[in-house]
Amino acid sequence: MRRRRALTVSMTIVMMLCVSFAAPAPSLAASVTNKQTVPGLTQRTIWDTSQVLCYRLPDGINHAGYIHMELTFCPAWVDLDLYLLDENGQALSQEMGSMAAFVGREVVDFNVMSVRNQTIEPGTSSGADDARMTGDTYYVVVVAFNGAARCRVAGYYPQIDLAVSADTTATDNYYLKSFRRPADTGAWVTLDGPEYGYPYDFTPTSTGQGEVRLEWPANVQTRSVTYDRQHAPSPANMESYLYAGSSWETVFQDFGESNWTPPDQGGWYGLRDTFAVEHRGTPARPLRTLHWVPSLFLKASDETRGPLAPPRCGKSTVGFKGTLLYPENLRLASAPQSVRKGGQATIKGTLARGGAWAVGVNVAVQVRTNGGWKTAQNVRTDGDGRWTAVIRPTRSASYRAVAAGDPVNGFEQETSVTRRITVR
């Protein structure tokens, strides 16, 4: 995720691959609430879990040469990232190519130029035939970004033959050792992460300031953040990303490398990132979909030591709380997904201006028809800025609300998000 990838794939190849793989267990749905307690500012709260997979290469890398790792996963449209880390947990290499080039597969290659730890470990027998050079520690990490998938990692890494020479730069004393996890060729590991789309996609409709908060660890069943800085100061390394539009333009990227311990944000602990929604000049603009991507990048083997401890190997899961705050002066809060033919549909929302509820202001509820928008009903806001429209849809169509803009932000017209109502 540190490098945004193309998400287009050949669906024919995808289906051929997935037929041969067992389907992963379905992802657990996130718990979501949406509300507007501050006029014109929508708050979405998400409780969900994320997983990361970490393997330590069983032998220290004791010769110069390439480490090559391949991640295979299914379904192929799920977004898994593959990394190679050093002994300090720093990312050395990320997957090569894009999902369009490697359907259901990611590859990392890293050229080891030198070996730091050249300590010779004595053999266990008197002849010392099994003596070896310690070498350097490396980790293979798989990060889940988009739902559940079955995956496995395989590859090779350079090793030295001490019977020939102890020179880590020579060309006649090394060989390539294979690596596979799970070890059984028919085995897979299921890895699950937050899914792209709702509730991680959201659409500001007005200009103003937005904010994204990521708190961890959390109990998603009780909806409570369980972080305890005294007894568990370093539970995980979390990351937070925000992208805009169909091309996934970067709004912000918070890698959180120094934040194994969630930073103090003045009463709560976690990552906090702000962004501006403006008419032009920024990736975040009104009525443009934004994609938030939280990530569990790594977990410490000793939660009390954090980055001083090696990464936890195997599969790790962390619960988290995400809070999205974004400007939405004219809000279409609710509408039925479907109604029976001839039945009524109640559409509700609120309108704010200048940070206060707009009272007695006309709101036009419009329907999409013949490529344009037509007003289906005009309503007025009450004393709390709320409006309600009751309509009788004659066909399946999309609906929105429009109202006169707020001179403060320069909008001639405020426009809500659209909702589709199906007539059955």
For residue 61, what is the domain's CATH number?
2.60.120
Does 65 share its domain with 162?
A: yes
Helix (H) or strand (E) holding 11: helix 11-19
**Quick one: what percent of the chain has pLDDT higher than 90?**
73
Does the structure show a pLDDT above 60 at 16?
no
Residue 230 tokens read as 């005294």
Range of the domain at 76: 11-21+50-185
Do 319 and 343 have their domain in common?
no
pLDDT for the residue 276:
96
Q: What's the rounded Cα separation, in Å, for the pair 389 and 380?
A: 9
Instruction: List pLDDT tens digits, range 109-144.
Output: 999 999 999 999 887 665 456 788 999 999 999 999
Of 304, 327, 350, which one is at a domain's C-terminal end? 327
52 Cβ contact list (under 8 Å, min separation 6): 141, 142, 143, 144, 191, 296, 297, 298, 299, 315, 316
- Region 190-205: mean pLDDT is 95
Instruction: Detail the DSSP E strand segments found in 335-392.
Output: 338-339, 345-353, 356-357, 362-369, 372-380, 386-391
- Same-domain status, 376 and 290: no
Task: Using the predicted structure, report yes or no on whether residue 11 has a pLDDT greater than 70.
Answer: no
Q: Looking at the structure, do residues 134 and 176 belong to the same domain, yes or no?
A: yes
Q: Angle at CA 199, nearest 5°, toward 368 and 319?
A: 175
Q: Name the domain count of the chain.
A: 3
**155 and 62 share a domain?**
yes
Q: Please indicate, yes or no, if residue 2 is contained in any of the structural domains.
A: no
Q: Which CATH number do you get for residue 370?
A: 2.60.40.2470
162 and 15 belong to one structural domain: yes
Domain boundary among 292, 312, 327: 327
Residues 17 and 143 in one domain: yes
Give the pair of three-digit tokens for residue 92.
């050395």
Whether residues 169 and 210 fall in one domain? no
Q: Are 254 and 192 in contact (CB under 8 A)?
A: no
**Residue 324's pLDDT is what?**
98
* Interval 236-275: pLDDT, tens: 999 999 999 999 999 999 998 777 889 999 989 999 999 9
Note whether residue 341 is domain-resident. yes
Whether 316 and 367 share a structural domain: no
Provide the β-strand partners of residue 68.
109, 156
Max CA separation in the chain (angstroms): 94
60 plus 181 within the same structural domain: yes
Distances in Å between the Cα of 320 and the Cα atoms of 28, 240, 273 are 14, 12, 16
Residues 299 and 348 in one domain: no
Q: What is the mean pLDDT of the chain?
A: 88
Average pLDDT over residues 89-104: 67
**Boundary residue ending a domain (327, 362, 385):** 327
pLDDT band at residue 95, thresholds of 50, 70 and 90?
Answer: low
Over range 183-195, report the average pLDDT. 94
| Residue predicted with more confidence, 97 or 10 | 97
